[in-house]
Structure 1
């Protein structure tokens, strides 16, 4: 005899750590902000980021 299939999808709690949708969204936004700030620093100083940081 076969088991009947469930008719509803269980609502599982979103994990608080690890690779979840919120963490990935936050990481993407932080990367975009960092990239834009890097471009702004290069434009304002007329130097590349490594030169501005004193690494080149």
Structure 2
């Protein structure tokens, strides 16, 4: 019998994808800041 690992909660699968998406978001934010010359707070109008 084969058991299926849950894909929700604090599982290895979820944590791996969370880390990958966090790295992707950081790189996109950094690239946007370099291209526009403004930080994220300035782009959102908070500074």
**Distance in 2 between residues matched to 1:16 and 1:52, nearest whole Å:** 35
Is 1:49 the counterpart of 2:43? The answer is no
The number of residues matched between the two structures is: 46
Of structures 1 and 2, the larger Rg is shown by 1
Using the size of structure 2 for normalisation, the TM-score is 0.83
Compare the two structures and name the one with the higher helix fraction.
2
| Residue ranges of structure 1 left out of the alignment (5+ in a row) | 1-10
Moved over 4 A (4+): none
Using the size of structure 1 for normalisation, the TM-score is 0.72
| Residue ranges of structure 2 left out of the alignment (5+ in a row) | none
